[in-house]
Structure 1
Amino acid sequence: MNISEADTRAKFIDPEIQKSGWEDFVIREHYFTDGRKLLGGKRGKRLFVDYLLKYKNVNLAIIEAKRFDKHPTEGLQQAIGYAEKLKVNYVYSTNGKKIYEFDLTTGKGDYIDSFPKPDEIYKRSFDNLTPEKENLLSVPFYLTGDKQPRYYQENAVNKAIEAIANKEDRILLTLATGTGKTFIAFQIVYKLFQKRWNLDNAERRPKILILADRNILADQAINTFNDPFEKDLVKIDGSEIKARNGQVPTNAHIFFAIYQAISEKENIGGYYKQYPADFFDLVIIDECHRGSANEEGSWREILDYFGSTVHLGLTATPKRKDNVDTYQYFGKPVYEYSLKDGINDGYLSPYKVKKIRTNIDSYIYTKDDVVLEGEVEYKKVYKKKDFNKTIIIPKQIDLVAQALLDNINPMEKTIVFCVDQPHALNIRDAINKHKKIADPNYCVRVTSDEGKEGRDLLERFQDNDKDIPVILTSSQMLTTGVDARNVRNIVLVREVNSMVEFKQIVGRGTRLFEGKDFFTIIDFSEEASEKFYDPEWDGLPEEEETGNTGGNTGGGGGNSGGDTGGEPPIVDPPPRPEKIVIELSNGRKLKVIDVETRYIDENGLPLTTKQFLEKLIGFIPDLYDSDAQLRKLWSKPETRDELLQKLADSGIDEEQLESLKILFDAKESDIFDILMHISYTNDIITRKQRAETTRENEPFFEVYENLKARDFLKFILERYEQDGIKELKREKLANLVELNNLGTTKDAAKVFGGLQKLVDAFYKIQELLYAS
């Protein structure tokens, strides 16, 4: 019986769904990702399930629908992968005749007579389904406008709620920077509020403390929580406490604070101690990797005091040796969403890496050089990691600034991470020396020394409606808390020793913005971008790591003085011996010797050109199996686009393909010829040669008696020579007609003897262009 999949669903699967009581709890064709961002505003393949079964606001199962004449479990493996992403335990695969149930918790499957009823799957989906858990999970998300939660946000909220209902008191959520951790925290709090959850089981709303280590983070959270909690929240800071004659506020339900405002300071007791130890039901710690769980950290003293409270930590940083204490304290994350997942799902911006090498990656003093300051060690090799820490070479700084400007578009928002605050000043001055944009605030330094003026410039940089400032130079201040969605370049002119810090720095560029297809990490250092190859760069927590290896920065932040609750001091490394300043001899010419671009594959690894080529060669057999098939696919705009889309879906986009032209010294050639060369060792010819051969095909042109028609077809070849295959898209036809002064498409159709003949000619000339 030849029945389409749509008919199979309508006639056989939908009735079974209704019969099992799912009609009001099913979402058909549920798309749950946006598709990886590609060049030109395009998107990769969006993931979707045929049916999502959702009951009491919890995703429970998916149904994979197959055509009536297909095997019922065809496509099951893909559906299992989708179920793992959606965190559902059951997959049903059916062709309308038979139903197959697969249980992800046991890894087993079998045929069943009918779909289980909603309540049955719901009860089977939880190990310990208490009334409290069911009550909390059933609360729908608080949403305004057309905003909908992303699938991983639902997963994170529900996993945290389950942990709270299971009476767990130390809970961790690990999600990549830019994935909406504040939104997740808000929805958790909203659910708890709606059901009046608290540790006393009393008839009251919970008391919740939300801790951050930056005012900017606390204020961002307050803005998110303000609706609908405006009357229920308060910020614990110096002005609030002063207004209450030195007493902390207690008449609220949601309390925001940065730990510097409430922790103990020199000669001043911590304000947090004015609260009873059991005052709060829940403490949420934002960016908890920054020292909250470190036994020597200032956050830890607050957590210890409120030790009987549920502690929920939020972090973007997976387990590393330099913050293993976070995982010892909270335990394994109840949910984790990686940078790689965020990029592949289309919720974070992809990136590429440019590694720039110069001919002064090390330095040995010679008598022709002049020591302007300090004492140089003779015969010592000063390595790149020593630059601007112990030795300053102004010409090297100048070279870096010039190379930086040469490798970015002038108006792309850029953050430059420097060795320290003086280095950030020197880099800023060098950029201002070589920039082509006249605005005095084109490049500015934003460090703690800049004070309010620096914070004002940072706010302007974050404002996506403002073009200026374009470039910020900094050292430590901008590694976290900078929500600037339009950052296009992250520049490293220093080593990054901490994986935690490296991940935070990269996170400054991951946020999406309209027209932003990717961001670029420009690395002038020796080793920073090599951290991408660390197996733990974007991996899962490793349970075998034990022992407290000491936390990240965040401890000792309580010595800022006063009770204003201002930003924590950004502390640069301890004072070092006087730096050496060297003026190179006039005979020493500095230059960039190599700029290597590495593209990121679907696993998050930067690929060298060789690795990229090997990947492409390995993928080719899935695309075409002969040179004749490749010619046929490439000759038609629609099938050519489909082929390019398949490449893009696997992490090979048009820009990467263009880079192969450089590799083969074939900038004036067609991607088609590169693929033919890689696949079948054909000679690479230029677009000009290909167009000339087509022009010489006199029998083709003689078919068209009207000379204007012949001229138009030759004009298409000229445009192809200049701009390549983008001029051969079907939607380009009307534009080509206009550029050739043929008038409208209707006018051009008359020249060819009809619209269909015009279209046929447009397709035929492409067929000839790629003929053997």
Structure 2
Amino acid sequence: MQLRPYQNEAKNAVFSEWESGNLKTLLVLPTGCGKTIVFAKITEECVRRGDRVLILAHRGELLDQAADKIQKATGLNSSVEKAEQSCIGSWNRVVVGSVQTLMREKRLSNFDSDYFDTIIIDEAHHSISDSYQRVLEHFDNAKVLGVTATPDRGDMKNLGTVFDSLAYEYTLPKAIKEGYLSPIKAVTIPLKLDLSGVATQAGDLKASDIDTALDPYLYQIAEEMKKYCKDRKTVVFLPLVKTSQKFRDILNEKGFKAAEVNGNSEDRAEILQDFENDKYNVLCNSMLLTEGWDCPSVDCVVVLRPTKVRGLYCQMVGRGTRLAPNKTELLLLDFLWHTERHELCRPAHLICDNEEVAQKMTENLSEQAGYPIDIEEAEEKASEDVVAQREEALANQLAEMRTRKRKLVDPLQYEMSIQAQDLAGYVPAFGWECSPPTDKQKAKLEKLGIFPDEIQSAGKAKLILDRLEKRRIEGLTTPKQIRMLESRGFQHVGKWQFDEASALISRIAANGWRTPKNINPKTYVPQSEVNTVGLT
């Protein structure tokens, strides 16, 4: 089985991290991008190098899925460490193990601490829990790989206490752009649901409170669904089993062919198969289908279980992001949740790294309620709006920065000039990233024209240095060129080509370091941008 280019990059990045001494590393791939295939191939390479590998997960379906995928992708058979099944005495070099079983002291005592050379944790956002930590502490010399879908910043900070580094991250926008996941269109439903009385429990909204708040709106929601997903294959996520069953009945009253599954459904496998075979066109569930279930033909997701946890939200939406024949996009129904105390995940959080952009995108989508909007286009528009707002709000501050008599560019001015949202919204996650910039980093930043004193973390310093190198390779302007030209009133010099900036500086120098009279800095546009506008 041939890996896709990004999957191959991910595999190589993991081994590179291990070889550089980061023995606990993390791999982030969006739902639907083949994380099981990637760690199957990593497992194969580890076995080839003589390792014994443990695949660790918290649910039986994930273990079965991992064993099946490893066998199909590599030909390697797996032993099982779960309940009464044990891998002790097996010839297999791969073991799929239940964390609930292995965490027990009696079970762990059967294994020497060096029994496993490599441990791979599926759905690694769970690895912060005590049960996983007991297993990792017992096999304390093993290389560890955690695999997860896109986590939120809170998760990343927590995962930073378990893992030494992030080996590789493939983002949802990139996966959509490169054709590996389905485009997503979000439609804001102009139905206001009041969640102001919902409490928080264990860091998220309390399911029973959501259930109480949601119940009065179920018939209205079903009516709205008739407008948008009558001819679509839809998965609906609800807070509790009884509500999921009630909503199934309401949908059937409204003319849908709806079914419901939950953890106690004896005919669950049959219902899922019937849904896949189009006997039903709506599947209601109470958070059962967030992990380990795939049905690529799903082309509509309705989230009636609002959440503050981005990882959970991504898991729900991820049930519909896979590609399938004749599928043009995933439609995501987003309701106007009214809440005074909670920051809820919305479609914007699938694609926006910056919270300010996410808020603006959510605001823009709400203003276009009832119309499906491509989330990539919506994010681009929100980014432009935020940049414009920032430029207006920071005009005085930037004007002051530009007039400072220093040879170096302030980091904020640099970020604004090159319009780097990822730099502006950066939050350090791992321990080394949080520490202050090193003297070596400061010296290099200063040499390249950046004022380093206002950069607070080593992670931010590395990000800026990486961006400077990338821009050098792409032939874009240097910080010193930006400082020199923007101090004379030229706009957005960070987007110019190096050669164009250099030529203009030479003209100014030849004119006695005065801007030529036939050039207006506020309206000046480099030739490459003129050509680009002409082409479009």
Common fold by TM > 0.5: yes
Question: Which of residues 255, 275, 282 is equivalent to 1:435?
Answer: 255
Counterpart in the other structure of 1:350: 183
Matches within 5 A, 1:327-366: 327-358=160-191, 361-362=193-194
Counterpart in the other structure of 1:54: none
Counterpart in the other structure of 1:477: 288
TM superposition shift of 1:333: 1.0
1:210 is matched by which residue type in structure 2? Answer: I
Distance 2:327 2:20 in 1: 42
Contact kept in structure 2, 1:248 and 1:271, CA below 8 Å: no
Contact kept in structure 2, 1:494 and 1:525, CA below 8 Å: no
Question: Which of residues 58, 71, 93 is equivalent to 1:253?
Answer: 93
Distance 2:65 2:234 in 1: 22
Does residue 218 (structure 1) correspond to residue 63 (structure 2)? The answer is yes
TM superposition shift of 1:272: 3.4
TM superposition shift of 1:386: 9.1
Counterpart in the other structure of 2:301: 490
SS at match of 2:146: strand
Counterpart in the other structure of 1:398: 219
Counterpart in the other structure of 1:600: 374
Distance 2:142 2:208 in 1: 46
Contact kept in structure 2, 1:600 and 1:606, CA below 8 Å: no
Contact kept in structure 1, 2:309 and 2:345, CA below 8 Å: no
Distance 1:254 1:308 in 2: 17
Distance 1:606 1:477 in 2: 33
TM superposition shift of 1:239: 5.0
Counterpart in the other structure of 2:229: 408
What is the CA deviation profile of residues 686-735 of structure 1, one whole-angstrom value per residue up to 9, with x for unaligned ones? xxxxxxxxxxxxxxxxxxxxxxxxxxxxxxxxxxxxxxxxxxxxxxxxxx
Larger Rg: 1
Q: 1:417 to 1:232 in 2, by over 3 A?
A: closer
Matches within 5 A, 1:48-87: none
TM superposition shift of 1:501: 0.8
SS at match of 1:346: coil
1:416 is matched by which residue type in structure 2? Answer: V
SS at match of 2:222: helix
Distance 1:353 1:250 in 2: 50
Does residue 191 (structure 1) correspond to residue 2 (structure 2)? The answer is no
Distance 1:529 1:393 in 2: 19
Distance 1:355 1:163 in 2: 42
Does residue 176 (structure 1) correspond to residue 7 (structure 2)? The answer is no
TM superposition shift of 1:185: 1.0
Contact kept in structure 2, 1:340 and 1:538, CA below 8 Å: no
SS at match of 1:478: helix
Q: 1:330 to 1:221 in 2, by over 3 A?
A: same
Counterpart in the other structure of 1:21: none
Counterpart in the other structure of 2:411: none
Question: Which of residues 257, 277, 284 is equivalent to 2:120?
Answer: 284
Contact kept in structure 1, 2:194 and 2:213, CA below 8 Å: no
TM superposition shift of 1:298: 1.6
TM superposition shift of 1:481: 1.4
Q: 1:220 to 1:459 in 2, by over 3 A?
A: farther
Does residue 453 (structure 1) correspond to residue 299 (structure 2)? The answer is no
Distance 2:150 2:268 in 1: 27
Contact kept in structure 1, 2:172 and 2:351, CA below 8 Å: no
Contact kept in structure 2, 1:357 and 1:594, CA below 8 Å: no
Counterpart in the other structure of 1:133: none
What is the CA deviation profile of residues 409-442 of structure 1, one whole-angstrom value per residue up to 9, with x for unaligned ones? 33x2211111222211111111111115xxxxx3
Contact kept in structure 2, 1:287 and 1:315, CA below 8 Å: yes
SS at match of 1:484: coil
Contact kept in structure 2, 1:492 and 1:522, CA below 8 Å: yes
SS at match of 2:223: helix
Q: 1:460 to 1:208 in 2, by over 3 A?
A: farther
Counterpart in the other structure of 2:278: 467
Matches within 5 A, 1:447-596: 447-450=262-265, 452-461=266-275, 463=276, 466-526=277-337, 531-534=346-349, 537-539=351-353, 595-596=369-370
Distance 2:259 2:98 in 1: 27
Which TM-score applies when normalising by structure 2?
A: 0.61
Distance 1:594 1:228 in 2: 45
1:255 is matched by which residue type in structure 2? Answer: V
What is the CA deviation profile of residues 569-613 of structure 1, one whole-angstrom value per residue up to 9, with x for unaligned ones? xxxxxxxxxxxxxxxxxxxxxxxx9952242354772869x98xx
Q: 1:189 to 1:597 in 2, by over 3 A?
A: same
Contact kept in structure 1, 2:186 and 2:347, CA below 8 Å: no
Question: Which of residues 133, 137, 140 is equivalent to 1:307?
Answer: 140
Does residue 206 (structure 1) correspond to residue 60 (structure 2)? The answer is no
What is the CA deviation profile of residues 62-87 of structure 1, one whole-angstrom value per residue up to 9, with x for unaligned ones? xxxxxxxxxxxxxxxxxxxxxxxxxx
Contact kept in structure 2, 1:388 and 1:423, CA below 8 Å: no
Q: 1:504 to 1:362 in 2, by over 3 A?
A: closer
Counterpart in the other structure of 1:238: 83
Q: 1:308 to 1:423 in 2, by over 3 A?
A: same
What is the CA deviation profile of residues 45-67 of structure 1, one whole-angstrom value per residue up to 9, with x for unaligned ones? xxxxxxxxxxxxxxxxxxxxxxx
1:399 is matched by which residue type in structure 2? Answer: Q
Matches within 5 A, 1:637-716: none
Q: Which runs of 5+ in 1 are unaligned?
A: 1-142, 198-204, 242-246, 365-384, 437-441, 542-592, 615-772
Contact kept in structure 2, 1:413 and 1:487, CA below 8 Å: yes
Q: 1:606 to 1:449 in 2, by over 3 A?
A: farther
Distance 1:279 1:298 in 2: 18
Distance 1:540 1:398 in 2: 35
Contact kept in structure 1, 2:351 and 2:376, CA below 8 Å: no
Q: 1:418 to 1:594 in 2, by over 3 A?
A: farther
SS at match of 1:317: coil
1:184 is matched by which residue type in structure 2? Answer: V
Contact kept in structure 1, 2:25 and 2:164, CA below 8 Å: yes
SS at match of 1:469: coil
Report percent identity of matched pairs.
26
Aligned length: 361
What is the CA deviation profile of residues 166-189 of structure 1, one whole-angstrom value per residue up to 9, with x for unaligned ones? 343111111111111111112222
TM superposition shift of 1:393: 4.8
Distance 1:363 1:281 in 2: 48
TM superposition shift of 1:509: 1.1
Q: 1:430 to 1:255 in 2, by over 3 A?
A: same
TM superposition shift of 1:339: 0.4
Counterpart in the other structure of 2:242: 422
Does residue 271 (structure 1) correspond to residue 107 (structure 2)? The answer is yes
Q: 1:347 to 1:390 in 2, by over 3 A?
A: same
Distance 1:229 1:152 in 2: 19
What is the CA deviation profile of residues 636-689 of structure 1, one whole-angstrom value per residue up to 9, with x for unaligned ones? xxxxxxxxxxxxxxxxxxxxxxxxxxxxxxxxxxxxxxxxxxxxxxxxxxxxxx
Contact kept in structure 2, 1:318 and 1:539, CA below 8 Å: no
Distance 2:354 2:335 in 1: 29
What is the CA deviation profile of residues 479-538 of structure 1, one whole-angstrom value per residue up to 9, with x for unaligned ones? 12121111111102232121111111121111111111101111235178863445x955
Contact kept in structure 2, 1:356 and 1:524, CA below 8 Å: yes
Q: 1:191 to 1:524 in 2, by over 3 A?
A: same
Counterpart in the other structure of 1:629: none
